[in-house]
């Protein structure tokens, strides 16, 4: 039995969604973030040395890292579903987005979260203007322009096809959902990028997405 070690409000939601799209049986084991630090509880360290979520166990296999989990599940149980045919342009784009989500976009969104927090963090009075000044400049000169460029790129890409890899929905869309949802919640994504907004509406309407929400419990991006 596939066991999803699911941290509330996390990237793990994507794995539940993939399993629902594939209509595979699975069990959810729940872990709660510390409400002050938002970190995962120590019990997750017993599953994988980094103690992050998602992580799945499947018999003797333990698989961490969302992209690797998606590849593993499709390879073992996908029967060719949710992945474009090998050698096709769609397959190349599929691979690109599978990596882009965690390799390029999530780091920028995470940097933004950290630097935004520095700007409001309780810092000793004397160093406060320095800390806030540096954080503000990094955000304005590096993080926000990069995020804007990434979102413009995604918006253009969705202009030439229905989904990220091609005209068929694929697991690349599942992987891309988290950065797009995070961009909507705190990265400045709004109606000025109508294709990305429509992407969110379309994924939220999928029955498997909704079943995964019910399985995973309260989720920040649920609305
Ligand atoms: N690139 C990894 C990121 C894993 C990750 O950072 N997960 C977050 C949840 S979204 C986590 O476990 N945070 C809790 C912590 O760092 O203690 C993946 O996609 O699986």
Expressed in percent and rounded to 5, the helix, strand and coil fractions of the chain are 55, 10, 35
Q: How would residue 192 be classed by pLDDT, with cut points 50, 70 and 90?
A: very high
State residue 125's pLDDT score: 81
The Cα 158–Cα 56 span in angstroms is: 31
- CA of 127 from ligand 1 middle (Å) equals 31
State residue 93's pLDDT score: 98
State residue 138's pLDDT score: 87
State residue 222's pLDDT score: 60
Instruction: Report the share of the chain in percent with pLDDT over 90.
Output: 83
The Cα 127–Cα 77 span in angstroms is: 55
Coil, strand or helix: which one is 6?
Answer: strand
C-beta 65 within 6 A of ligand 1 = yes
204 has pLDDT over 90: yes
Question: Regarding beta strands 26-31 and 2-7, do their DSSP bridges make them parallel or antiparallel, or are they unpaired?
Answer: parallel
Q: Which residue has the least CA distance to atom 3 on ligand 1?
A: 65
State residue 159's pLDDT score: 97
180 contacts 200 by C-beta, under 8 angstroms: yes
When pLDDT is averaged across residues 176-189 and rounded to a whole number, the result is 96
Instruction: Report the share of the chain in percent with pLDDT over 70.
Output: 99
Structure tokens that stand for 174 in this block: 């599942």
**pLDDT digit string, tens, across residues 147-167:** 999 999 999 999 999 999 999
Cα 37 to chain centroid, rounded: 20
Q: How would residue 219 be classed by pLDDT, with cut points 50, 70 and 90?
A: confident
List residues bridging with 68 in a β-sheet. Answer: none
209 contacts 17 by C-beta, under 8 angstroms: yes
Residue 138, exposed/middle/buried by CB under 10 A (0-12, 13-18, 19+)? middle
State residue 83's pLDDT score: 98
C-beta 76 within 6 A of ligand 1 = no
The Cα 128–Cα 169 span in angstroms is: 48
> What value does the mean pLDDT of the chain take?
95
53 contacts 12 by C-beta, under 8 angstroms: yes
**Ligand 1 pocket test target in 11, 98, 109 with most atoms within 8 Å of CB:** 11
200 has pLDDT over 80: yes
Point out the ligand 1 atom lying closest to the alpha carbon of residue 37.
Answer: 17
**pLDDT digit string, tens, across residues 49-58:** 999 999 999 9
When pLDDT is averaged across residues 214-221 and rounded to a whole number, the result is 87
State residue 117's pLDDT score: 86
**pLDDT digit string, tens, across residues 85-141:** 999 999 999 999 999 999 999 999 999 998 888 888 787 888 788 888 888 898 999
State residue 220's pLDDT score: 81
C-beta 10 within 6 A of ligand 1 = yes
- Angle value at C-alpha 58, between 54 and 60, nearest 5 degrees: 120
When pLDDT is averaged across residues 208-222 and rounded to a whole number, the result is 89
Nearest to 161 by CA among 181, 146, 176, 147: 176
């Amino acid at each position: 039995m596939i066991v999803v070690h699911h941290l509330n409000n996390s990237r793990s939601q994507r794995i539940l969604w993939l399993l629902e799209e594939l209509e595979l049986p699975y069990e959810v084991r729940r872990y709660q973030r510390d409400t002050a630090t938002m970190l995962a509880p120590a019990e997750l360290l017993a599953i994988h040395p980094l103690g992050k979520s998602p992580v799945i166990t499947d018999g003797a296999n333990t698989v961490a890292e969302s992209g690797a989990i998606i590849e593993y599940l499709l390879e073992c149980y996908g029967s060719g579903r949710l992945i474009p045919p090998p050698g096709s342009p769609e397959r190349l784009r599929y691979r690109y987005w599978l990596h882009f989500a965690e390799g390029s976009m999530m780091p920028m969104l995470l940097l933004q979260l950290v630097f935004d927090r520095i700007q409001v963090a309780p810092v000793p009075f004397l160093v406060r203007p320095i800390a806030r000044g540096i954080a503000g400049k990094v955000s304005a000169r590096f993080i926000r322009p990069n995020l804007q460029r990434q979102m413009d790129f995604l918006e253009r890409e969705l202009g030439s096809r229905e989904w990220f890899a091609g005209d068929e929905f694929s697991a690349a869309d599942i992987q891309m959902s988290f950065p797009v949802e995070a961009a909507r919640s705190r990265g400045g994504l709004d109606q000025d990028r109508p294709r990305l907004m429509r992407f969110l509406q379309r994924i939220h309407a999928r029955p498997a997405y909704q079943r995964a929400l019910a399985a995973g419990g309260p989720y920040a991006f649920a609305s």
